[in-house]
Structures are given as structure tokens and as C-alpha cells.
């Protein structure tokens, strides 16, 4: 465990602890859960001293939530939306298809108080192993879906620039979804005068948002996985032939995310309440965030660790 004044890195036994969630029921209360690139789901004690693998998805777990009955709801990039019993490790598939077609890149979710699940599918063309191709080609085929309690799935928003993190407002009057490729957080209004319309919670973010989550403070926390890259954004607007060429060159020559640890928190007016930019060499590329009682837990697509920042 690496600790600085307010920032602690907690190693886990596998790389790519992409998202984090804090448990709130029974033995899971206060525990932190994460999923790694080998398909493992880990439970971490609130003090970070005890870590155990509790399940395996046989895929690539990304977004992770606590279901209404205390189970984990996991968006697995390869297997779709899953539920996991934290006691037995049993894995149940909720859905992996939209209108009869399998999802390519299931990513993140939020659960409403009535059990409705809002979740994202980042791309219709590229899966997690080739996420940079969708990002650079700017396919804008990301979607936000609604899974009703009767099992029906509908597409709520389409044409998103790499749909990513999902969060509900405290009043559940809107659902927010991060557009990584456009550096925005889009709102879809569920109730009220704006119901059925969309606008933005945040635009022109200082970098590329990944997962987002509503914290115990009622704010919507947004990860900034990497700072804005002018070269990437020029490529996104260039001829498709050039964009395709860039994604076919060797990995070591492609544009790479810059190393940073940054998360922001927004109120319902879109005002930045917290902007946490941590200077560290021990962690990078924050893709998951969860504020819980004054502690901000973070995950990373690449790191074999989660981290926590004391506010």
C-alpha cells in the first residue's frame, strides 16, 4: 500500500481494476468492490488491508454497481449486464442483446430506486480490445439504454461519442452519460417539464471522461482519464482514411493517454464543486470513481490497484 498525505494506493492481485463501488449491506457494508482484466471480482475491506476474490465473470468486468437486493450489477464488456451474488459468487446474465443483436461494448450502469437499470454500450463496431479505434475514428455509435423491471430494453440515446459512465441525479429526474470522445456529460431528462429532452451537465471538460457516479454527497463525480489531446482531436475531425490509417499503425506509435489522476464533482446546475488533481507517480488513468462519506475511491483501466483520496 502506497500512501501520501491524502492519497492511498491499494494493490489488488490483477491489473485493470477499472471501476469501484462501496457496499452498503451486511458483511459488505463499507467494503469496496472492483473488477479486473482477468475477469475477477474482488472485495476490499474499507481499510484496504484485506482483499479476496469473490467471483469470476469469464469476461472483462467494467462498470460495477450495488443492486437493490445487495448483489453486484456488473457491466461486462464481453458478456453484457450481469448480476453477482457476493456470498456465493454465482453469476447471472441479465442481458447481452439489444433488439436481438449482441452488444459489442457494454460499459457502465446506474440503478434507479424502482430497479430500472440505465446502462451504456460504447460502440457498435469496436470492443474493449480495440477501444482506441472507436475513439480515434469517432464513430459516434455509442448508446444509452434503459432496462425496465419487466426485462424489456430500449435505446434512449443513440449517436453518442463513445458512451461511457452513467449516473442518476439524486432526485432521479435525469440520467447522465459521459461522452468520452466529445469531452461532455449528456443529460437525458426523465421527469418534469424537460422529460424526454437532452442537454449537458458538463461540456468542454479538461480531458476525456470515463466512468461517472453519484456520490453519497449527492454530487455526480466524473473521472478525467486523460487530459485533452489536441492531436487526437485533430484526427477525430480529419478524413476517415487518415483516422483508419492511424488505428492500424503499431500500438507503440499510436497516441497514448497521458498519465494523470483527476476527478471532478458537479452539482445539478453543472457547477464544479470539487476538482481533485492529484500529483503522483504511483497511479494513473483513473476510469472509476465513487465518493463515499468523504472518501473518493478510484479505479484504473490499467493499474493493478485501486486508490482512495481523503477529501
> Predicted confidence band at 156 (pLDDT cuts at 50, 70, 90)?
very high
By CB neighbour count within 10 A (0-12 exposed, 13-18 middle, 19+ buried), where does 15 fall? Answer: middle
Average pLDDT, the chain: 91
How far, in Å, CA of 17 to CA of 292, rounded? 18
Does residue 1 surpass a pLDDT of 50?
no
Could you say which DSSP state residue 219 is in?
P
> Predicted confidence band at 177 (pLDDT cuts at 50, 70, 90)?
very high
How far, in Å, CA of 298 to CA of 41, rounded? 15
Using an 8 Å Cβ cutoff, are 138 and 126 in contact? Answer: no
CA distances from 86 to 142, 213, 221, 274 (A): 30, 21, 25, 32
Helix or strand run (H / E) with residue 252: none
What pLDDT was estimated at residue 2? 47
Where do we find the cell 453484457? 80
Does residue 200 surpass a pLDDT of 60?
yes
How far, in Å, CA of 204 to CA of 225, rounded? 14
Torsional sign, CA 132, 41, 13, 48: positive
Query: Which class does domain 2-310 fall in?
Result: mainly beta
pLDDT digit string, tens, across residues 219-277 = 999 999 999 876 666 666 666 665 566 565 556 555 566 789 999 999 999 999 999 99
The pairs formed by 57-61 with CB atoms below 8 angstroms and a separation of 24 or more are 57/82, 57/84, 57/91, 58/91, 60/35, 60/128, 61/18, 61/19, 61/35, 61/36
State what percent of residues in the chain have pLDDT above 90: 80
Helix axes 240-248, 230-237, angle to 10 degrees: 130
DSSP-H helix ranges across 19-156: 131-137
Phi, psi angles (nearest 5°) of residue 253: -100, -10
What pLDDT was estimated at residue 138? 83
What pLDDT was estimated at residue 82? 98
How far, in Å, CA of 228 to CA of 193, rounded? 34
Q: Are strands 261-266 and 220-227 parallel, antiparallel or unpaired?
A: antiparallel
Using an 8 Å Cβ cutoff, are 10 and 48 in contact? Answer: yes
Torsional sign, CA 44, 211, 292, 228: positive
- 85 versus 24: the higher-pLDDT residue is 85
Q: Which whole number is the average pLDDT over 87-100?
A: 94
Strand partners, 172: none
Amino acid at each position: 500500500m502506497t500512501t501520501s498525505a491524502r492519497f492511498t494506493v491499494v494493490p489488488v492481485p490483477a491489473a485493470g481494476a477499472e471501476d469501484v463501488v462501496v457496499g452498503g449491506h451486511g458483511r459488505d457494508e463499507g467494503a469496496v468492490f472492483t473488477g479486473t482484466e482477468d475477469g475477477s471480482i474482488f472485495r476490499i475491506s474499507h481499510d484496504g488491508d484485506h482483499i479476496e476474490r469473490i467471483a469470476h465473470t469469464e469476461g472483462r468486468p467494467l462498470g460495477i454497481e450495488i443492486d437493490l437486493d445487495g448483489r453486484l450489477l456488473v457491466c461486462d464488456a464481453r458478456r453484457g449486464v450481469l448480476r453477482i451474488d457476493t456470498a456465493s459468487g454465482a453469476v447471472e446474465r441479465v442481458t447481452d442483446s439489444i433488439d436481438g443483436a449482441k452488444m459489442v461494448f457494454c460499459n457502465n450502469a446506474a440503478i434507479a430506486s424502482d430497479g430500472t437499470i440505465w446502462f451504456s454500450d460504447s460502440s457498435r463496431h469496436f470492443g474493449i480490445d480495440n477501444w482506441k479505434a472507436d475513439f480515434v475514428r469517432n464513430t459516434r455509435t455509442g448508446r444509452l439504454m434503459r432496462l425496465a423491471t419487466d426485462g424489456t430494453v430500449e435505446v434512449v440515446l443513440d449517436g453518442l461519442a463513445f458512451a461511457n459512465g452513467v449516473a442518476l441525479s439524486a432526485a432521479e429526474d435525469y440520467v447522465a452519460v459521459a461522452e468520452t470522445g466529445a469531452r461532455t456529460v449528456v443529460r437525458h431528462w426523465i421527469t418534469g417539464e424537460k422529460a424526454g429532452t437532452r442537454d449537458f451537465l458538463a461540456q468542454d471538460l479538461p480531458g476525456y471522461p470515463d466512468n461517472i457516479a453519484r456520490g453519497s454527497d449527492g454530487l455526480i463525480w466524473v473521472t478525467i482519464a486523460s487530459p485533452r489531446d489536441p492531436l487526437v482531436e485533430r484526427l477525430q475531425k480529419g478524413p476517415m482514411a487518415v483516422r483508419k490509417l492511424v488505428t492500424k499503425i503499431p500500438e507503440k506509435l499510436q497516441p497514448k493517454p497521458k498519465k494523470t489522476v483527476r476527478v471532478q464533482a458537479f452539482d445539478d446546475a453543472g457547477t464544479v464543486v470539487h476538482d481533485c488533481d492529484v500529483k503522483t507517480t504511483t497511479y494513473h488513468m483513473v476510469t472509476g470513481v465513487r465518493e463515499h462519506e468523504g472518501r473518493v475511491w478510484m479505479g484504473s483501466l490499467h493499474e493493478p490497484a485501486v486508490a482512495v483520496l481523503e477529501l
